[in-house]
Amino acid sequence: MSNLLVTDIGCLVTNERSIDGTPLGIIHDAAFSVTDGKISWVGSRSEVKVSEHKNVVSAKGKTVIPGFVDSHNHLVFAGDRAAEFSARMQGQPYAAGGINYTVEQTRSASDEELRANVAALVAEGLTSGTTTVEIKSGYGLSVADELRSLEIAREFTEETTFLGAHVVPTEFKSAPEDYVAMVCGPMLEAVAPLAKWIDVFCDRGAFTPAQTRQILKAGIAKGLLPRLHANQLEPGEGIKVGVELGAASVDHISHFDDSDIAALANSKTVATFLPGAEFSTRSEYPDARPMFAAGINVAIASDCNPGTSYTTNLPLMIALAVREMFFTPEQALWSATKGGALALRRKDVGHLSVGAKADFSILSSTSYLHLAYRPGVNLIEQVWRNGNQIS
């Protein structure tokens, strides 16, 4: 007997291509069962025997989608940068330097304040359908503050990322190579047990391609898996460095050319777009169509952080990706679910097929198209994780 049957689903998005030949793997008039937190059966509502299930939930003809997998976030920080945002909206350009303001605030915050901020942001994401979240450090930038950032992140997710190489902190401004040595040495040594991933901000005002290689290689040698902030502020070698080192994902990628596409097309690296950063820095949105045309796996994530994208809302990211980056609504939904899972090398989330975690949302709408078509409207009616309703 299953613990749960979800039935009367007007449109079920499974992300299982074998079902209908499309990436979203849609079943109309569907149902699925959940046993011990995992999907145990998926099929047509007409095949269901209600008596074989302990609890029955009716989706009332609405759409059910996999929980969002938000693969890129910076949630461990204190304070905000509303004034910087306001100045930007009056014409100031974004520069990586603002990060050091948040570093100051974060260092002087208590563990409780930082923990409460992460908890609030994770809860906020949950209500908009995010059931798996990646959290980076990167506003501590000292051994002790990176360590406590990752300790706190670990309380919320197993997808923790060491981003000691976010920017060079103010006290190392005149000796950036000393900071790189500290990141690769004592800082990495301290945080390695707490992080699954290592990330570097490879861009103007942050770290060079050579420093990026050095830092990622040091992380890999310690058993961490690489991912990268690449080509956000200007074109550069970031995407290629990520591919060369086997990064699970290169993120932002606001600037790319044919050679970057060729590199990604011959790799397993996911191309992750972060439309919230273009939105909040009033930057030009990249056109994702060449990535799809080349068959590259694409993800979208919210990049929640106080500087460039202070939002946890993946439905808004879907709407922006469709409207501004030329994703189809189907590509955008897939990218926020299965794409995010691939970017985190996770097979158990991002889809609703037998064996997957029962992480899903019931929309208040009969069509997933409404996620892009009704921007800013809360369409996430219920959120379930491991077969339990949590929102």
Choose one: 5-13, 302-310, 346-354, 356-364; the region binding ligand NIG (CB under 6 A).
Answer: 302-310
Q: Which does 48 bind (CB under 5 to 8 A by kind): Fe ion, ligand NIG, none?
A: none
Q: In whole angstroms, what is the distance from residue 38 CA to residue 239 CA?
A: 36
If one asks whether residue 322 binds ligand NIG (CB under 6 A), the answer comes out as no
Residue of 260, 278, 303, 359 that binds Fe ion (CB under 5 A) = 303
Q: Which does 312 bind (CB under 5 to 8 A by kind): ligand NIG, Fe ion, none?
A: none
Task: Output the six-digit token pair for 83.
Answer: 């004034």
In the complex, least distance from residue 301 CB atom to Fe ion, rounded to whole angstroms: 8
Q: In whole angstroms, what is the distance from residue 29 CA to residue 12 CA?
A: 8
Q: What is the DSSP letter of 232?
A: S
In the complex, least distance from residue 123 CB atom to ligand NIG, rounded to whole angstroms: 21
> Residue 203 or residue 303: which is nearer to Fe ion going by CB?
303
Q: Which does 351 bind (CB under 5 to 8 A by kind): Fe ion, ligand NIG, none?
A: none
Contacts of 383 (CB under 8 A, 6+ apart): 67, 126, 127, 129, 131, 360, 361, 389, 390, 391
Window 100-119: residues binding Fe ion (CB under 5 A): none
Q: In whole angstroms, what is the distance from residue 384 CA to residue 391 CA?
A: 7
Residue of 2, 7, 14, 102 that binds ligand NIG (CB under 6 A) = 102
Q: What is the DSSP letter of 367?
A: -
If one counts every other C-beta atom within 10 angstroms of the C-beta of residue 124, the result is 15
In the complex, least distance from residue 272 CB atom to Fe ion, rounded to whole angstroms: 10
Choose one: 92-100, 120-128, 301-309, 379-387; the region binding Fe ion (CB under 5 A).
Answer: 301-309
Q: In whole angstroms, what is the distance from residue 261 CA to residue 298 CA?
A: 12
Question: Which residue, judged by CB position, is nearest to ligand NIG in the bound state?
Answer: 307
If one counts every other C-beta atom within 10 angstroms of the C-beta of residue 218, the result is 21
Task: Output the six-digit token pair for 363.
Answer: 């929309």
If one asks whether residue 278 binds Fe ion (CB under 5 A), the answer comes out as no
Q: In whole angstroms, what is the distance from residue 152 CA to residue 101 CA?
A: 20
If one asks whether residue 303 binds ligand NIG (CB under 6 A), the answer comes out as yes
Residue of 10, 66, 67, 98 that binds ligand NIG (CB under 6 A) = 98
Q: Which does 102 bind (CB under 5 to 8 A by kind): Fe ion, ligand NIG, none?
A: ligand NIG
Strands 130-133 and 135-136: unpaired
CA dihedral sign, ordered 360, 363, 368, 369: negative
> What three-state secondary structure class fits 199?
strand
> Residue 77 or residue 384: which is nearer to Fe ion going by CB?
77
Number of residues that bind ligand NIG (CB under 6 A): 14
Helix H or strand E segment including 84: helix 82-89
Window 198-227: residues binding ligand NIG (CB under 6 A): 201
Residues that bind Fe ion (CB under 5 A): 303
Residues that bind ligand NIG (CB under 6 A): 74, 98-99, 102, 201, 229, 232, 277, 303, 305-309
